[in-house]
């Protein structure tokens, strides 16, 4: 039995023993005596009697342990040309002053602070300063529309908002302050005070009495010491993207989060003190929280804070420059970023300019399904393990991955590998669950290997995952726990194979029903993506009067590839017919310039499907470029014949 299997089985059979040992890596103000409180299912709490401060664990203890001169954060901004390194001592001092400034503005333990900032050092400093005070931060992706920001303000009811004058994109400035002003006008519960980082690229006007310039209040503030909080106290709220109506605030607690982040850094990502991790994710997303900010700092590693894009800042070699210049051991990004690089530089010309092999040991990808073609391209180009890891905003760290710090398992293309310790993953029969569960959840009927079903996780979830939703226990139960008794429903469908490898085929609403045959759009996309001319693709199921639904394909061709769209479409239809079969009824592929995505890189499949069905969907606030979707509307327009 390998290290992974032994440790995984221990975590499932004896979870309290397993997590008690993992908790020894944390400096506690009061160590836990009780590991799991299971007295009120389905509301489980980890380390209920323990106390700590997350900021102390992420910053101060490394200084106290003699590593104050080690680099904590590298700020690399190709959009401004800025480069700055913060040692752990420098970061501690900056954070302590920011915490002192926030405290002077009325922020205390349990208060909420909205963070509406671009990828600048002040964003990391603000998050840590909130943690230092025992306050609860809620990062809202910079550039979110005023109405969306206002909804989050009203749900969190913050004491303070920390924002900036602008964000910087490769081709434009994004004025944050006017959007913040409008959000505060719309909000029913606006805070009395804001702190604004004035960026030299575009300064803004401040509202007298409400707005404070960061440069005026932070540098001279009296440093604040870490405030001890309960392990079960919230560290942050992170609102899920694309919500309508009242936003859904994922809660992350202090103790379980610190333990899970520390364990995963060592055992999943194989990153430790003095090593560098480059996580190319905005802090507005869960990946940015977990593996740009907290994870690397909790273990004393160096984190790269990157204000740029995978391509266009200035070219498709941007990531590889960062790896080479800063000695990154691990890169963590989304598959869409690698597809963008592959589209612009499929031959690896830009990659060849940089010595990434001197430091790089692994590429981790998450956020959407990793198609085999992208996996194979990245593997062949980089010559290091390419690890697909699957998780959610709700879980905060991987549900499934290849745990390189424990044991390097064989890779199976198309699979994020195996469940991580603490996650008792099962594939359940969705047919056994009523359409409207009501007050009595169904019993979970487990499906055999290679049988598609609903992916669920047996309770209790491990530390670091959501204990509830902000201010709404009932919604937590109805959203995640009401379908199958004793299970958290992930909302994704898939299957496991005979070796226990998990295959995630997409959200359950991405399964289409063609004349009674259930087909995963992910399977169809894998066939399209394998064509040498295809940079990226999407398949959506559209209504059909005869078959119920039929799949439609949309593909983006690699840069520099000269191929007739009609010829490509014919080849792709033939490939699907050969590999999936005529049952797929796959007959239409459109070559398009780009696919509509969220800012985190997820393709807007549901939105495209609704347009193709003749509906007028609400456009998600997280969309990266609305013009891309507008350009696709004529292509997606329903066929009158169907």
The DSSP line for 401-438 is E--TTT--PPP-TT---EEPTT-EEEEE-GGGS-SS-T
pLDDT of 641 over the 60 cut: no
pLDDT of 91 over the 60 cut: yes
Cα–Cα distance between 241 and 142 in angstroms, integer?
13
β 160-164/511-514 pair status? unpaired
Residue range 127-161, pLDDT digits in tens: 999 999 999 999 998 877 788 899 899 999 999 99
Instruction: Tell me what pLDDT residue 438 has.
Output: 60
Cα–Cα distance between 238 and 245 in angstroms, integer?
16
Residue 577 confidence class, pLDDT cut points 50, 70, 90: confident
Query: At which residue do the structure tokens 């993506």 appear?
Result: 529
Please say whether the dihedral angle defined by the alpha carbons of residues 125, 126, 130 and 136, taken in this order, is positive or negative: negative
Cα–Cα distance between 313 and 334 in angstroms, integer?
17
Residue 612 confidence class, pLDDT cut points 50, 70, 90: confident
Instruction: Tell me what pLDDT residue 439 has.
Output: 63
Instruction: Tell me what pLDDT residue 611 has.
Output: 86
The encoded tokens of residue 114 equal: 């909205």
Q: CA nearest 537: which of 575, 503, 504, 509? A: 575
Entry pTM:
0.84
Instruction: Tell me what pLDDT residue 600 has.
Output: 66
The DSSP line for 13-76 is HSHHHHHHHHGGGS--SB--S--EE-SSTT--EESTT-EE-HHIIIIIHHIIIIITTSEEEEEE
Q: Are 419 and 426 in contact (CB under 8 A)?
A: no
Q: Show Cβ contacts of residue 129 under 8 Å, excluding neighbours closer than 6 positions.
A: 55, 95, 96, 98, 99, 102, 224
What CATH fold (topology level) applies to the domain 3-308+389-492? Rossmann fold (3.40.50)
Left (φ > 0), alpha (ψ -120 to 50) or beta: where does 486 sit? left
Sequence spans of domains, the chain? 3-308+389-492, 515-636
Q: CA nearest 255: which of 23, 17, 15? A: 23
The residues that bridge with 319 in the sheet, in sequence order, are none
Residue range 218-264, pLDDT digits in tens: 999 999 999 999 999 999 999 985 434 577 899 999 999 999 999 99
Give the best-scoring range by mean pLDDT among 119-123, 247-251, 391-395, 516-520.
Answer: 119-123
**Was domain 515-636 assigned CATH 3.30.300.30?**
yes
Q: Are 558 and 342 in contact (CB under 8 A)?
A: yes
Instruction: Tell me what pLDDT residue 259 has.
Output: 98
Would 3-308+389-492 and 515-636 be classified into the same CATH topology? no
β 487-496/502-507 pair status? antiparallel
Q: Euclidean distance between the first and final Cα of the chain, in Å?
A: 55
Give the best-scoring range by mean pLDDT among 182-196, 526-540, 567-581.
Answer: 182-196
Cα–Cα distance between 470 and 248 in angstroms, integer?
8
3 state SS of 509: helix
The DSSP line for 476-500 is HIIIIISSBTTEEEEEEEEEE-TT-
pLDDT of 297 over the 70 cut: yes
Q: Are 502 and 425 in contact (CB under 8 A)?
A: yes
Q: Are 129 and 55 in contact (CB under 8 A)?
A: yes
Left (φ > 0), alpha (ψ -120 to 50) or beta: where does 623 sit? beta
pLDDT of 326 over the 50 cut: yes
pLDDT of 496 over the 50 cut: yes
pLDDT of 521 over the 90 cut: no
Cα–Cα distance between 13 and 68 in angstroms, integer?
40
Query: At which residue do the structure tokens 């001197």 appear?
Result: 358
Lowest mean pLDDT among 79-83, 124-128, 559-563, 601-605: 601-605
Q: Show Cβ contacts of residue 359 under 8 Å, excluding neighbours closer than 6 positions.
A: 276, 323, 324, 327, 328, 329
Residue range 377-410, pLDDT digits in tens: 999 999 999 999 999 999 999 999 999 999 999 9
């Amino acid at each position: 039995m390998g290290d992974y299997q032994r440790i995984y089985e221990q975590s499932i059979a004896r979870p309290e023993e397993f997590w008690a040992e993992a908790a020894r890596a944390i400096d506690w103000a009061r160590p836990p005596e009780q590991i799991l409180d299971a007295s009120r299912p389905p509301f489980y709490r980890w380390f209920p009697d323990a106390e700590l401060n997350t900021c102390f664990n992420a910053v101060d203890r490394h200084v106290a342990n003699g590593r104050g001169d080690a680099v904590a954060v590298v700020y690399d901004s190709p959009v401004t040309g800025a480069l700055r390194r913060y040692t752990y001592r420098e970061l501690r001092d900056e954070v302590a002053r920011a915490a002192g400034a926030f405290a002077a503005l009325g922020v205390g333990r349990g208060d909420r602070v909205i963070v509406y900032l671009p990828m600048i050092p002040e964003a990391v400093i603000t998050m840590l300063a909130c943690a230092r005070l025992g306050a609860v931060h809620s990062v809202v992706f910079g550039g979110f529309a005023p109405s969306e920001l206002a909804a989050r303000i009203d749900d969190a009811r913050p004491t303070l908002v920390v924002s900036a004058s602008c964000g910087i994109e490769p081709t434009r400035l994004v004025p944050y302050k006017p959007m913040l002003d409008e959000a505060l006008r719309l909000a029913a519960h606006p805070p009395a005070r804001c702190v604004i980082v004035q960026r030299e690229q575009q300064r803004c006007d401040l509202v007298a009495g409400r707005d404070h310039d960061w440069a005026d209040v932070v540098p001279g503030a009296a440093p604040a010491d870490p405030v001890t909080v309960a392990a079960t106290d919230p560290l942050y709220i992170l609102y899920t993207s694309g919500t309508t109506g009242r936003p859904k605030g994922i809660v992350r607690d202090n103790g379980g989060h610190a333990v899970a982040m520390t364990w995963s850094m060592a055992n999943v990502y194989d990153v430790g003190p003095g090593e560098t991790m480059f996580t190319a994710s905005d802090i507005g997303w869960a990946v940015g929280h977990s593996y740009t900010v907290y994870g690397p700092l909790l273990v004393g590693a160096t984190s790269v804070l990157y204000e740029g894009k995978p391509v266009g800042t200035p070219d498709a070699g941007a990531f590889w420059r960062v790896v080479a210049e800063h000695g990154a051991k691990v890169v963590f990004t989304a598959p869409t970023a690698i597809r963008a690089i592959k589209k612009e530089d499929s031959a690896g010309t830009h990659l060849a300019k940089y010595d990434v092999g001197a430091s790089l040991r692994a590429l981790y990808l998450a956020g959407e399904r990793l198609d085999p073609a992208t996996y194979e391209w990245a593997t062949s180009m980089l010559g290091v393990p390419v690890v697909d890891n699957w998780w959610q905003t709700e879980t905060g760290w991987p549900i499934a991955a290849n745990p390189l710090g424990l044991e390097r398992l064989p890779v199976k293309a198309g699979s994020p590998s195996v469940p991580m310790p603490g996650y008792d993953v099962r594939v359940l029969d969705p047919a056994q669950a009523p359409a409207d569960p009501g007050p009595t959840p169904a019993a979970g009927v487990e499906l055999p290997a290679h049988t598609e079903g609903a992916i669920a996780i047996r309770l209790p979830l491990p530390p670091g995952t959501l204990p509830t939703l902000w201010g709404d226990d009932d919604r937590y139960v109805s959203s995640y726990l009401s379908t199958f008794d004793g299970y958290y429903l992930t909302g994704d469908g898939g299957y496991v194979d005979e070796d226990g490898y998990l295959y995630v085929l997409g959200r359950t609403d991405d399964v289409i029903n063609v004349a009674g045959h259930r087909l995963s759009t992910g399977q169809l996309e894998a066939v399209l993506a394998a064509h040498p001319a295809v940079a990226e693709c999407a398949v959506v199921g559209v209504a059909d009067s005869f078959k119920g639904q039929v799949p439609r394909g949309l593909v983006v061709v690699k840069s520099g590839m000269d191929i007739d769209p009609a010829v490509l479409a014919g080849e792709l239809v033939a490939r699907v017919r050969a590999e999936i079969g005529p049952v797929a009824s796959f007959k239409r592929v459109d070559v398009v310039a780009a696919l509509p995505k969220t800012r985190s890189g997820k393709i807007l499949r549901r939105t495209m499907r609704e347009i193709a069905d003749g509906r007028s969907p609400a456009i998600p606030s997280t969309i990266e470029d609305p013009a891309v979707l507008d350009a696709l509307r004529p292509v997606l327009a329903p066929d009158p014949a169907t």
